[in-house]
Amino acid sequence: MEDTYRVPVKEGDRIRAGLAMQLVAVPTGIAPEAMVAGVRQGPRQVQARRLAMYLAHVGLGWTVERVGHAFGFNRATVSAGCRWVEDARDDPAVDGLMERLELAVRQVCETPQLEMTRLDAVAVAR
């Protein structure tokens, strides 16, 4: 049995990494589960994963090490993926997509957290 070393990741980082994958999934049509599947992936899945990792790195301002921990990859894989996206941004379509995704992820993640008890109070008041 092979034991893979995994760094504990904060739940907030997992949620934000999931958001990055969900945002990338919409325009690419690649499900988030396919981006991080534990099996060898096709080129479309790998490219989508690279876009999501880049989005976490640039859009959220995370270090490549933090991105790697949240996505379950080493930082060399993350760095290579980010370089690939940087090169791909020479294409105006890719650049425009990434600009929109970066804005979206920042807007969502910079939204103040909502206390769930406030929602319970609203529901009871109705």
pLDDT digits (tens, 9 = 90+) for 10-56: 999 999 999 999 999 999 999 999 998 777 788 999 999 999 999 99
Cα 45 to Cα 33: distance, rounded to the nearest angstrom: 10
Cα 20 to Cα 18: distance, rounded to the nearest angstrom: 5
- The pTM of this model reads 0.84
Cα 80 to Cα 82: distance, rounded to the nearest angstrom: 5
pLDDT digits (tens, 9 = 90+) for 68-79: 999 989 999 999
What are the extents of the domains in the chain?
11-125
Cα 12 to Cα 51: distance, rounded to the nearest angstrom: 20
| pLDDT higher than threshold 60 for residue 1 | no
Pick the CATH number of 11-125 from 3.10.180.10, 1.10.1750.10, 3.30.1330.10, 1.10.3720.10: 1.10.1750.10
| pLDDT higher than threshold 70 for residue 3 | no
